[in-house]
Structure 1
Amino acid sequence: MRTTLGGLRAWLGDRPLVPDALLAALLVAAALARLISPLPYGARPPGLAEAVAVLLGCAAVAVRRKWPFTLLCALETTHLSLVVAGHETSMLDTAILIAVYSVAAHRGLAVSLAALGVDLLAVLVGVASGVGAETRTVLLVGAPVVVTAWVVGRSLRMRRAYLAELKDRAERLERARDADTRAARAEERSRIARELHDVVAHHVSVMTVQAAAARRILTTNPQGAGEALSAIEEVGRTAMAEMRNIVGVLRTDDGRAGPAERGPQPGTLELPALVEQMREAGLPIQLWTEGESGDLPPGIDLAAYRLVQEALTNTLRHAGPGARAWVTVRHEPGEFSVRIEDDGRGPADPRPDGERPGPGHGLVGIRERVALYGGMLRIGPRAGGGFEVRARFPLKDGR
């Protein structure tokens, strides 16, 4: 039901002439009923021309949004002519209120003030024209009602402008957030590319060493040379698999690696040292390794290390005092998973705006890193309180 009403409201918002035409039809019907009813205040019955003028004035409300100021001037002229002649004005008073409201709601401040001035001037002219005491009283009492209609219309216009500004600001923030996220992803992809470049370079170096050894012992130790060639074949396949994984994300502007990036990249074997480092920083951590650990593909090994590193860093920064963390590394046939949990309740000194910091760019990069190897990542609250980061990587050929 709510969806239907929302759709109808949107449809009418795109076609303002439809509700305005319905409003004009109601005014015309009310004017006809008023014209054939007994006349109040001893007013003279209108002639054909006056009746047609009243009905046309009510029907003109259909264009109240397109030409509101013109409509108001025409209605005031007709109304003033009928009042001075002592005729019944029927529903023209209501039509004038609608016109004043429409000018205030759909035009700028200068035009709306001019419309209010026109209406009040028409009241003064009507009062000064020598009409009866009862008619003069009606005109004077109607002036505050007109001012109220103008205030309501002006308030609605300001509210619409305020909501439009809020919507525009939200859209700008959304675009800025998307641009920020894309920049973070591009930066992390560049970082991944540099790291995997070192991994592939390591494989090529190993193949070169093995090939040189095989060449030296080819005539004296054919069996040893065959083993060296088998090792070259295996390393070559691993390197090709890594290169297939990174095709499409190697988009660095500078292919040169810095001095600190030429060394071997960390992996899951370095997790105990990482955990000990975090303990020294004041975060109690327990590390469990389940299953038989085998040789992981270097890219997945590096991704798992970076995942644990980023998750523990976020725990240290955001979990709050007294928080504990658990790291579980599980080796299973055809799958490798990493799980980092904490029981934190948030920082003791929240941000000035009262909001807790959410996942940063590091975890955005982690999503890219896990997706690169076809893995699945879950980041969110932990059952029982705290936070959890869990990643699962599929392994081919049982490794």
Structure 2
Amino acid sequence: MQRTLKPAAPPSRLSPGALTTLSRSAVPAFALLVYGTMPQPLHPVFLAPDHFLRPGRWLLVGLAVVLALPIGWAGRRPLPVLGLLLGEAFVARTFGMRSWPLFLAADVLVFHIAVGCTRRVAAGALVGVLTGWALMATAFVPVGKAFTVLTGPSSTLAVAAAAGWILGSWIRLRQDHADALRAQAAISAVQAERLRIARELHDLVAHHIGAIAIRAGAAKRVIATQPDGAREALGVIETTSRETLTGLRHLLGALREPDPGGGSAADGHEQARLGPDSRSLAPAPGLADLERLVASTADAGVRVDVRWSGQRRPLATEVELSAYRIVQESVTNVLRHADARLCRVSVDYGTHELAIEIVDDGGGRATRQPGSGYGIAGMRERVGLLHGRFSSGPRPEGGFRVAARLPI
């Protein structure tokens, strides 16, 4: 059975609720970091001439908590929180506080934005952080020393922001690539299922409708002179029509009903459900049903000789079904195109593969060129799904030959 390669799992994406919980739980730790980095005492706050406010310890604790509160909304509103952090960094720098904890939090937000937002938004966040850092670093130093400050130890914050943006962008690219692989796998699964349904419909309808057409033509020719023969042909038409309707009902039931095992339709299930009023599964046809196929073909005017070799034994369902469908489609082509009287089917049970060969003595080659129509293509697809070998074409001595080897 064909195996589908699954794409590698991308880095897990946290849900909005988990991000909110994580960001809010980080508020106390960040507030403690801000308070721990505050100089004691702060620069006095100028209120009026000869009047200064010197903050006390508890006021500093409250200020640290206020500065840390925006982190609690970073999971849902990263861009506004980033803007608040840059504004807080400016205020902290103005009053002599250390602004690097705020820029460190901003660097983490740049990483988060790069992972969850578009490239343009992530690039804007990085430019905003780097610009804010450069302004803060050079705001209170002489112009001549600006370059020294920008290349000094504080440049680590700028490097961290760039590293966060690069890492977040790389993770985002991996996520996008994984999403594309999953979408492609879903499309491939849908296409594979459509092909499977098309093959089943073709094999089911083409064989039975071909037999019906042949018997109807025979009944039309003898209805006036041989009413008993016409009546027999009509009986075969009735039986074949009912079988066709039953098969279509099974296939449509499989399309309408969900897989009871929880698997997807593209997993290669070759069993079809009965109608809505049935509780059992319809077994897929296999090599054991060839006798019934031979009998129906004989009624249509072509004798089919089945030859078995090797040790007959039950095989995997997909092998049994594919082998049956290949024989069915080949016999159908003999009925419709070959103008043959004899068709020989050889089934050889080998140790590692099942060999099937269908040959006829017909001469209708014009409409049976290799690769024409959907029948040959469908058989080749079935064999390819099982990693087998398939060949078909006219025989030098006359007639047509179809051969398939299926691994078992």
| TM-score, normalised by the number of residues in structure 2 | 0.51
- Residues 324-335 of structure 1 correspond to what in structure 2 (within 5 A)? 327-328=346-347
Distance 2:301 2:381 in 1: 21
Residue 25 of structure 1 and its aligned partner are, at CA, apart by 1.4
Query: Does residue 211 of structure 2 align to residue 196 of structure 1?
Result: yes
Name the counterpart of 1:362: 379
Query: Does residue 140 of structure 2 align to residue 130 of structure 1?
Result: yes
For 1:106, the aligned partner's letter is: G
Distance 2:329 2:407 in 1: 8
- Residues 57-72 of structure 1 correspond to what in structure 2 (within 5 A)? 57-72=67-82
Distance 1:200 1:50 in 2: 99
Structure 1 187/240 Cα, relative in aligned 2: closer, same or farther at 3 Å? closer
For 2:161, the aligned partner's letter is: V
Secondary structure of the residue aligned to 1:156 is helix
Q: Is the 8 A contact 2:115 2:168 kept in 1?
A: yes
Kindly provide the CA deviation profile for residues 295-334 of structure 1, in whole angstroms up to 9, marking residues without a partner as x.
xxxxxxx978536669xxxxxxxxxxxxxxx92499xxxx
Kindly provide the CA deviation profile for residues 12-35 of structure 1, in whole angstroms up to 9, marking residues without a partner as x.
74x323234224313423532662
Q: Is the 8 A contact 2:355 2:406 kept in 1?
A: yes
Name the counterpart of 2:355: 341
Name the counterpart of 2:4: none
For 2:209, the aligned partner's letter is: R
**Identity %, equivalent residues:** 12
Which of 245, 249, 268 matches 2:304?
268
Structure 1 42/176 Cα, relative in aligned 2: closer, same or farther at 3 Å? same
Secondary structure of the residue aligned to 1:112 is helix
Kindly provide the CA deviation profile for residues 96-155 of structure 1, in whole angstroms up to 9, marking residues without a partner as x.
122111222222233222222221122122222227999984532221111111111222
Name the counterpart of 1:144: 159
Name the counterpart of 1:165: 180
Distance 2:18 2:160 in 1: 27
Name the counterpart of 2:94: 84
Distance 2:121 2:103 in 1: 21
Query: Does residue 328 of structure 2 align to residue 306 of structure 1?
Result: yes
Q: Is the 8 A contact 2:207 2:329 kept in 1?
A: no
Structure 1 82/138 Cα, relative in aligned 2: closer, same or farther at 3 Å? farther
Which of 233, 241, 244 matches 2:242?
244
Q: Is the 8 A contact 1:105 1:153 kept in 2?
A: yes
Distance 2:222 2:99 in 1: 101
Q: Is the 8 A contact 2:27 2:72 kept in 1?
A: no
Name the counterpart of 2:255: none
Moved more, 198-207 or 94-103: 198-207
Q: Name structure 2 gaps, 5 residues minimum.
A: 1-10, 44-54, 250-298, 313-323, 333-344, 357-375, 390-403
Distance 2:32 2:310 in 1: 88
Residue 209 of structure 1 and its aligned partner are, at CA, apart by 7.6
Distance 1:184 1:145 in 2: 58
Name the counterpart of 1:100: 110
For 2:346, the aligned partner's letter is: V
Residue 205 of structure 1 and its aligned partner are, at CA, apart by 6.3
Name the counterpart of 1:388: 406
Name the counterpart of 2:48: none
Moved more, 110-119 or 134-143: 134-143
Secondary structure of the residue aligned to 1:268 is strand
Distance 2:325 2:225 in 1: 27
Name the counterpart of 1:24: 24
Q: Is the 8 A contact 1:84 1:131 kept in 2?
A: no
CA RMSD after TM alignment: 5.0
Considering fraction of residues, name the structure with more helix: 1
Q: Is the 8 A contact 1:82 1:89 kept in 2?
A: yes
Distance 1:23 1:287 in 2: 71
Q: Is the 8 A contact 1:84 1:126 kept in 2?
A: no
Secondary structure of the residue aligned to 2:346 is strand
Structure 1 26/81 Cα, relative in aligned 2: closer, same or farther at 3 Å? same
Q: Is the 8 A contact 1:380 1:387 kept in 2?
A: no
Distance 2:63 2:17 in 1: 22
For 2:127, the aligned partner's letter is: G
